[in-house]
């Protein structure tokens, strides 16, 4: 009997929803020597890309079973930060959520899914395709770099901080204020429009119901006005918060023995000695949990590092007091961005070198090696990570 090739087609919510969720449960995320994360999309497998301007989900069927899935989105972003507008922008396709059933791997199903998604990018006039993976996910690296010709582009840091019982201290010398959506959009376009992968539709991001708001921090007592004709303080910092837990939950499926023992020991001590709740503890990651994603971090001035930390502590306290489901605060920043040293995080849960890879899709860009403009230049300090693609 000849080899049967999988059928690749668009996702149909009425037919595929339950089968995609079952596939997600059978596929772990994360390198085996660290942790496995299982994703619970809470009945909406397409939730991670639904807020993107354009999105697509493909599934693979073989032997009357759903054996693979992939998702993609398209948007306009800043890519050439040294070129004047509009030459600094490009339409990019983002690949995420590639899953193949463990029993059907090494049959070319993942490759077929990637090829079909790239065709959709090209049909919609995308200039580039990019993806993110763990740098030690060798199967993913071989697939995209060796087979499909992607090149290593950036290595941002994913920083994760648990939400704990005890509120974090925010200095009384720091003033924190929430901006209106229009004020936030103005500041982002003024201060971050040249940042790599800054989304052209930042107004849609900030106005999304999942975006909880934008906050600024500055030294107490300084004159400030963050409006169009305002005067900015010498030192200030800004960030926005996205409630990813409203879309999907995560659950830890595997962890180092030290992590398991630590979590179980703290649960036991908290029951026997209630006073231990005042000390730092690890949330129970072995039941489904949500998270807040901090995005659009920007800071200026000699005191900005302390102001970034104050904002992070503020977001922690907000999560601890307003959300029962939020157990971690996550952010992703450029690997060379010094702001990472001011963001509270746990090394055990964080990833200091996520890997982004990129590929030119148009023939003229491939002939001129335009993608080398990314790889030849030294990584910029700042990198805008769109919360809609987390």
Domain assignment present for residue 254? The answer is no
Domain hosting 184: range is: 160-248+281-349
Question: CB neighbours of 213 closer than 8 A, spacing ≥ 6?
Answer: 178, 179, 240, 241
Residues 72 and 201 in one domain: no
Take residue 124 and report the two structure tokens written for it: 């919609």
**How many other C-beta atoms lie within 10 A of the C-beta of residue 63?**
9
Please write the tens of the pLDDT for every residue from 74-129: 999 998 766 666 778 999 999 999 999 999 999 999 999 999 999 999 999 999 99
Same domain, 359 and 340: no
CA pair distance 211, 180, nearest whole angstrom? 12
Q: Mind listing the pLDDT tens digit for each residue in 223-241?
A: 777 876 778 899 999 999 9
Q: Same domain for 176 and 147?
A: no
pLDDT > 90? residue 381: no
60 and 203 share one domain: no
Decide if 257 is inside a domain: no
> Are residues 44 and 192 located together in one domain of the fold?
no
Domain count, the chain: 2
Strand order in the sheet with 151-154: 7-10, 54-62, 65-78, 89-100, 128-134, 354-360, 151-154
Q: Does residue 177 sit in the same domain as residue 298?
A: yes
Q: Are residues 37 and 72 in the same domain?
A: yes
Q: What is the pTM of this model?
A: 0.88
Q: Are residues 119 and 244 in the same domain?
A: no
CATH of the domain at 65: 3.40.630.30
- Are residues 182 and 127 located together in one domain of the fold? no
> Is 335:157 a contact under the CB 8 Å cutoff?
yes
Clarify whether residues 56 and 197 are in a common domain: no
CA–CA separation, 341 vs 346, rounded Å? Answer: 12
Domain check: are 175 and 313 in the same one?
Answer: yes
Helix/strand/coil for 248: coil
Between CA 339 and CA 353 the distance in angstroms is: 15
Q: What is the pLDDT of residues 172-183, one digit of tens each?
A: 999 999 999 999
């Amino acid at each position: 009997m000849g080899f049967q090739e999988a059928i690749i087609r668009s996702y149909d919510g009425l037919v595929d929803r339950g089968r995609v969720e079952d596939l997600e449960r059978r596929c772990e995320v994360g390198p085996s020597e660290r942790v496995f994360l299982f994703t619970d999309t809470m009945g909406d497998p397409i939730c991670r890309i639904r807020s993107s301007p354009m999105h697509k989900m493909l599934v693979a069927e073989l032997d009357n079973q759903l054996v693979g899935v992939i998702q993609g989105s398209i948007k306009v972003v800043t890519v050439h930060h040294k070129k004047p507008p509009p030459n600094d922008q490009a339409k990019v396709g983002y690949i995420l959520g590639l899953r193949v059933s463990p029993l059907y791997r090494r049959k070319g199903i993942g490759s077929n899914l990637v090829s079909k998604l790239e065709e959709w990018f090209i049909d919609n006039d995308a200039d580039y395709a990019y993806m993110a993976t763990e740098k030690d996910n060798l199967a993913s690296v071989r697939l995209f770099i060796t087979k499909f010709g992607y090149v290593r582009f950036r290595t941002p840091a994913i920083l994760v901080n648990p939400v704990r019982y005890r509120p974090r201290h925010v200095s009384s010398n720091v003033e924190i204020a929430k901006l209106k959506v229009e004020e936030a959009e103005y500041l982002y376009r003024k201060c971050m429009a040249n940042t790599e992968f800054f989304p052209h539709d930042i107004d849609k991001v900030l106005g999304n119901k999942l975006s909880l708001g934008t906050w600024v921090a500055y030294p107490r007592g300084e004159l400030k006005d963050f409006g169009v004709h305002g005067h900015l303080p010498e030192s200030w910092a800004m960030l926005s918060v996205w409630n990813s837990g409203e879309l999907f939950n995560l659950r830890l499926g595997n962890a180092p023995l030290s992590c398991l023992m630590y979590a179980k020991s703290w649960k036991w001590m908290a029951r026997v000695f209630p006073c231990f709740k005042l000390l730092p503890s690890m949330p129970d990651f072995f039941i489904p949990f949500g998270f807040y994603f901090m995005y659009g971090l920007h800071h200026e001035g000699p005191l900005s590092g302390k102001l970034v930390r104050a904002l992070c502590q503020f977001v922690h306290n907000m999560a601890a007091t307003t959300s029962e489901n939020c157990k971690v605060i996550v952010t992703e920043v450029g690997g060379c961005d010094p702001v990472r040293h001011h963001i509270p995080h746990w090394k055990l849960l964080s990833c200091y070198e996520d890997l982004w890879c990129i590929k030119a899709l148009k023939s003229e860009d491939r002939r001129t090696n335009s993608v080398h403009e990314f790889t030849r230049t030294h990584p910029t300090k700042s990198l805008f990570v769109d919360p809609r693609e987390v």
